[in-house]
Amino acid sequence: MNDHLDAINGNTNEINSFHEYLTQFENMITKLGERLDSVELKIAEIGGNKSDFKNIILNAKEQEIFLMLYSRTGDLMDYREISRSLGVTEELVRKHISGMINKGIPIIKKYFEGKTYLILDADFRNLQAKENILKL
């Protein structure tokens, strides 16, 4: 009986160690993602100028998502919140966000406790307010 309990304790310790390792690994991936987003934003700032924004055309869902992010002055939103508000899946929201980023909309991703939060770049938001770049 004691051998059985010792084996269970050994397995429990091994599982706990593995869980700690996975938690540390997840934190490192989150930090790496933040750094990559920061680098992408810097590259966009260096390579882009205001006139690059003149040719951005968003589809209807992208416009809805943009307006949600735009109306949230400085507040972070996650994919779930956006998907619930629009009545679509989180996966569809992710695809639209990626499409918007590829079109040049500077959406900043922030990572906290394993969740991704989104915010519209403040400078772009102000530029949109002044020049109505997206013609919304």
Residues 1-13: what's their mean pLDDT?
A: 80
Q: Report the SS3 class of residue 89.
A: coil
pLDDT band at 92 (very low <50, low <70, confident <90, very high): very high
pTM: 0.61
The answer to whether the beta carbons of residues 97 and 107 sit under 8 Å apart is yes
* Number of other CB atoms surrounding residue 92 within 10 Å: 15
Residue 15 pLDDT > 50: yes
Residue 51 pLDDT > 50: no
CA pair distance 51, 85, nearest whole angstrom: 32
What CATH number does domain 2-131 carry, 1.10.10.10, 3.20.20.100, 1.20.120.160, 3.40.50.300? 1.10.10.10
Which run of H or of E encompasses 79? helix 79-86
Angle at 109 between CA 108 and CA 114, to 5 degrees: 170
CA pair distance 107, 117, nearest whole angstrom: 10
pLDDT band at 48 (very low <50, low <70, confident <90, very high): low
Residue 66: CB partners within 8 Å, gap ≥ 6? Answer: 58, 100, 105, 120, 134, 136
Domain limits, the chain: 2-131
Averaged pLDDT of the chain: 84
pLDDT the model gives residue 63: 92
Task: Report CA Rg, the chain.
Answer: 21
pLDDT band at 100 (very low <50, low <70, confident <90, very high): very high
